[in-house]
């Protein structure tokens, strides 16, 4: 098995980024939360710090307007932009799904024209485990991937909360991610096996489950956000603050998995 890329998200401060780079994190992800607060100098400092290291930066712009997205990319100049808009998986919502994918392709083409060196990551929603009949959902996921793959540099799985519901059911309305809950690893595996571009496994990835996740899914990389965050006195994740002990344990488990599964078919990197 080739080296597994490790990505951590919601890094908004240079001090955290510096510590994570020193620990060996490969990709440092930051988030722009709204058009009203799109210009965050500390996040730009994170991107600049990462640029001077061996790591890469990634930026999620939670912005609806295309011009706002382009303006943010010009300001931050990350290595990767990560789009995670909700895409309906219900097989009966074909027209809606086609419209969402067509808009995603149009935006991604423009981003590539405006910023040729920029890598594009696209989240593919994967339901939580327990679907009664996963076969049609699997086909829908693979159809989305086939549609978006020619315009995308890498996919990332993320957990879709409430299969069949609307985008408003997600923790951030209209987007997938930050549930802290695992996705269906069998469906994620189907995506990895069918994809011709790298797939990062996300969705509830923690030091406790990452070893098994890599063995089951064999992704090109893993992503952790909620499950490596610090906790408050009630055990709830604190956004934008990492627990560095959990990060170290996560990295140790990833390297252990690389060694243990070295005889398995590697994912494309």
Residue ranges per structural domain of the chain: 5-260
d(CA 149, CA 259): 30
| pLDDT in the model for residue 266 | 46
| pLDDT in the model for residue 264 | 58
| pLDDT in the model for residue 267 | 45
Low-confidence ranges of the chain (pLDDT < 70): 1, 168, 264-269
Q: HSE (CB half, 13 Å, CA atoms) of 128?
A: 12
| pLDDT in the model for residue 269 | 37
Reported pTM: 0.94
Superfamily of domain 5-260: Aldolase class I (3.20.20.70)
Report which of 219, 209, 197 is spatially closest to residue 246, judged by C-alpha positions.
209
| pLDDT in the model for residue 268 | 40
| pLDDT in the model for residue 168 | 66
| pLDDT in the model for residue 162 | 82
């Amino acid at each position: 098995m080739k080296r597994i890329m490790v990505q951590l998200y919601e890094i908004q401060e240079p001090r955290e980024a510096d510590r994570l780079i020193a620990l060996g994190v490969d990709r440092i992800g930051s988030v722009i939360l709204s058009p009203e607060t799109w210009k965050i100098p500390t996040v730009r400092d994170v991107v600049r710090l990462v640029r001077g290291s061996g790591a890469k930066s990634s930026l999620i712009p939670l912005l609806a307007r295309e011009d706002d997205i382009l303006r943010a990319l010009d300001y931050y100049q990350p290595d990767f932009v990560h789009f995670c808009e909700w895409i309906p998986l219900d097989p009966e919502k074909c027209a809606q799904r086609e419209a969402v994918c067509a808009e995603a392709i149009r935006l991604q083409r423009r981003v590539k024209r405006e910023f040729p060196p920029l890598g594009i990551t696209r989240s593919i929603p994967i339901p939580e485990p327990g679907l009664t009949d996963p076969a049609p959902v699997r086909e829908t996921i693979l159809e989305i991937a086939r549609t978006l793959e020619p315009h995308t540099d890498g996919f990332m799985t993320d957990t879709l909360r409430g299969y069949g519901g609307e985008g408003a059911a997600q923790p951030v309305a209209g987007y997938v991610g930050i549930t802290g809950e695992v996705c269906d690893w069998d469906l994620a595996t189907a995506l990895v096996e069918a994809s011709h571009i790298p797939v990062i496994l996300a969705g509830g990835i923690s030091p406790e489950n990452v070893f098994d996740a890599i063995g089951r899914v064999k992704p090109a990389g893993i992503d952790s956000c909620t499950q490596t965050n610090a906790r408050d006195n009630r055990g709830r994740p604190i956004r934008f603050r990492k627990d560095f002990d959990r990060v170290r344990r996560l990295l140790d488990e990833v390297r252990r998995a690389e060694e243990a599964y070295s005889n398995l078919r590697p994912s494309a990197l």
